[in-house]
Amino acid sequence: MSPAVFGHGHLRLYLLHVLDERPMHGYEIIQALSDRFGGTYVPSAGTIYPRLAKLEAEGLVTKQTDGRKTVYAITEAGRVELNDRRDELEGIENGIGDSVRRLADEVRSSVSEAMSTLRAELAAAAREARDDGRASAASAREAATQAAGAATAAAREAGAAASEAVRDATTSMHSTISETRSDGRAQLQRAEVLLAEFRQDLRTELRTAVARGSLDSSTVDELESRLSRLRADIVSRLL
């Protein structure tokens, strides 16, 4: 969805606008953008970090390490560009309102389609339960005509109970799947941010080492070995 949300160069300007409020680390920037779109648009780490790196290279933002986090802040040069493009920024803000409405409509459409599918599944399950109930009643009538009335009532009650059980089980299943996927997406996004920050910071350190002439093959061999062990450990936890 990201290409349709911001026009060419607009995300770059909007990042300056977000950082003009206060310095933020990568995940906070992503959350700030998500909040402005009411959660209908969440940019990926792969979208945000390359643009932050370009803004840093142009001297429009700075970054510094705060513990395990990399914090980005707008520079005076960044504020000058932001102020020079205020009219363009207002147009972006208006466009965001249109994008939020469009994305919300898409979400509502998806939810409506999912609800229609769920209702169809529940109706089919209810019909199957009633058919099973009628079959049980028919067998009971053939076996004992005198117990036909009682068997029919029992079958209908069983059909209603089965329908309710299917409905409850389906609702619970969809709720559990939704919660699991939502948490999984949040954790994936967090992992992507951590990996992007690690790559960005380590790449800077390696380039500095090259400039000093202190990067040798043993260091890279050690990096390869540790990353291989870390990957194996993480993969084993995921299985």
Mean model confidence pLDDT for the chain: 75
| 84 vs 162: which has the higher pLDDT | 84
- The mean per-residue pLDDT over the stretch 28-53 comes to 87
Look at residue 212 and tell me whether its pLDDT is greater than 70: yes
pLDDT at residue 151, as a whole number: 45
Residues 6+ apart with CB under 8 A from 32: 18, 21, 24
Tell me the pLDDT tens digit for each residue of 108-161: 666 566 666 767 776 777 677 677 666 665 665 665 456 445 545 655 665 565
Spell out the domains of the chain, with CATH numbers in brackets: 2-238 (1.10.10.10)
The model's confidence at residue 182, banded by pLDDT at 50, 70 and 90, is: low
pTM score > 0.75 for this model? no
- Strand ranges of the sheet holding 24-25, from the earlier edge strand across to the other edge: 24-25, 69-74, 61-66
Q: What are phi and psi of 72, to 5 degrees?
A: -105, 140
Neighbours of 130 (CB within 10 A): 17
